A = this chain, B = another copy of it.
Amino acid sequence: MIHLARLAIATVALIFAGGPATAQTSQTSGGPVDPALINRYLMSRSLAPILVTASDIMEYDLDSNPIDPQDRRSVIERFIHGEIYKLRPDVKAVIHSHSPAVIPFGITQVSMRPVIHVASFLWVGVPVWDSRDAQDPASAAMLVRNSALGKSLASTLGDKRVALMRGHGNVVVGPNVQMAVRYAIYTEVNARLQAAAIAIGGPINYISAEEGAARDRAPTDFARAWELWKKKALGK
């Protein structure tokens, strides 16, 4: 049921708190710092995700300034990541994608709600962000190309796991890469199934808040899907 290839992951960024990652050897890339003052995040340079290799990974401060660009072009919309990391200390991974089945829910009046147990995490709600909400002069171009737009999106996301970006895509956050990827994949799956149920017609028996909360507390047998996703991603 998982069509990883159909999930266009536009950008994935990981935060690391408390100083540079151990793999970071460049002097210009920061030394030991006060974690309370400085945080950094990692993100690929502007490149189709399927083509990314280790040397394409760049380091940014939370204002989304590259630490050591080395002529690598930064992703325009990196402010999505920086501003969410600022607002949400619990978040350690942010995925922005143009998840195809999700996009229609950002431009219609029907809210995304969980219809399958593996997407029960959506029970907390899925807000929709419209770039025009930011009241920023750059809004009309629909790209999160500055901090003001990033802040506006982060504020719409609030304490949720997923926010839709009207006419654009979505953003998914998690406490680690595995969870964020899981949320992103199952958000796409849920959108396909919810749309199919709507097409069949009649009232839909959504996953309830009680069920969503119960599943949030339950342990998850997550390794099974993760191993398969990794295999597929590396096999391509």
Residues of A within 8 A of B (CB): 1-2, 6, 8, 46-48, 50-51, 73, 76, 98, 100-101, 103-110, 114-118, 120, 130, 140-143, 166-168, 189, 192-193, 195-207, 210-211, 213-215, 218, 221, 223-225, 227-228, 231
**What is the minimal beta-carbon distance from A58 to any residue of chain B, in angstroms?**
15
Chain B: CB-nearest residue to A106: B205
Whether A198 contacts B199 in the complex (CB less than 8 A), given A120-B142, A142-B120, A228-B48, comes out as: yes
Residues of the B chain whose Cβ atoms lie less than 8 Å from the Cβ of A227: 48, 51
B193 in contact with A100 (CB, 8 Å): yes
Residues of the B chain whose Cβ atoms lie less than 8 Å from the Cβ of A168: 116-117
Whether A201 contacts B6 in the complex (CB less than 8 A), given A120-B142, A141-B218, A215-B142, comes out as: no
B50 in contact with A228 (CB, 8 Å): yes
Tallying the copies of this chain within the complex gives 4
**What is the minimal beta-carbon distance from A38 to any residue of chain B, in angstroms?**
28
A46 in contact with B224 (CB, 8 Å): yes
Whether A48 contacts B110 in the complex (CB less than 8 A), given A2-B8, A140-B214, A143-B117, comes out as: no
**What is the minimal beta-carbon distance from A167 to any residue of chain B, in angstroms?**
5
B141 in contact with A200 (CB, 8 Å): no
A201 in contact with B198 (CB, 8 Å): yes
A8 to B185, CA, bound (A): 14
Chain B: CB-nearest residue to A195: B200
A72 to B115, CA, bound (A): 31
A197 in contact with B104 (CB, 8 Å): yes
Whether A141 contacts B199 in the complex (CB less than 8 A), given A103-B116, A224-B48, comes out as: no
A6 to B1, CA, bound (A): 6
B100 in contact with A192 (CB, 8 Å): yes
List the 8 shortest-distance A-B pairs measured between CB atoms, nearest first.
Answer: A140-B214, A109-B202, A104-B197, A48-B228, A1-B8, A117-B142, A104-B196, A141-B218
